[in-house]
C-alpha cells in the first residue's frame, strides 16, 4: 500500500498496473480519474489507440477499483492525498504506458526504475 501526498498538482499518462489490480482511496481533496478503452488489437508492436471509456472525480472518502490490465490516468490538484492499494507489488512488474498524441505504447519494467 502506498500513501501519496502531493503538494503540487500533477497527472499521469494513461497506464495499467500490469498483472496487479489497484484501488485508489481519496483522503484529501479530489483526484480526477479517466478509464480508457483500447481500440486496436494490440498486435502491432508499439502502437495503441485509446478512447475514453469513463471519466469521474474521486472525492475525499470515496474509492475506485481498477482490475488487472485496466488502463487509467489520474489528475490531481494541489495538496492532495490518496491511498493506492495494489494486489501485488506493482513496483516489481512490467506495466504499459501509453502516449495519446503519438498513439504509442511502451512496456515499462518498474523494477528497473532508479530508486
Spell out the per-residue pLDDT of the chain, length 115, in tens. Answer: 555 567 789 999 999 999 999 999 999 999 999 999 999 999 999 999 999 999 999 999 999 999 999 999 999 999 999 999 999 888 888 999 999 999 999 999 888 877 6
SS3 track for 44-110: CCCECCEEEEEEEEEECCCEEEECCCCEEEEEECCCEEEEEEECCCHHHCEEEEEECCCCEEEEEEH
**Is the pTM above the cut of 0.85?**
yes
Amino acid at each position: 500500500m502506498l500513501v501519496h501526498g502531493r503538494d503540487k498538482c500533477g497527472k499521469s499518462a494513461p497506464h495499467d498496473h500490469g498483472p496487479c489490480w489497484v484501488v485508489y482511496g481519496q483522503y484529501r481533496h479530489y483526484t480526477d480519474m479517466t478509464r480508457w478503452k483500447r481500440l486496436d488489437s494490440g498486435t502491432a508492436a508499439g502502437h495503441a489507440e485509446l478512447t475514453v471509456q469513463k471519466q469521474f472525480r474521486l472525492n475525499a472518502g470515496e474509492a475506485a477499483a481498477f482490475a488487472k490490465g485496466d488502463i487509467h490516468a489520474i489528475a490531481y490538484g494541489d495538496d492532495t492525498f490518496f491511498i493506492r492499494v495494489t494486489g501485488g507489488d506493482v513496483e516489481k512488474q512490467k506495466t504499459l504506458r501509453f502516449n495519446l498524441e503519438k498513439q504509442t505504447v511502451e512496456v515499462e519494467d518498474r523494477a528497473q526504475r532508479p530508486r
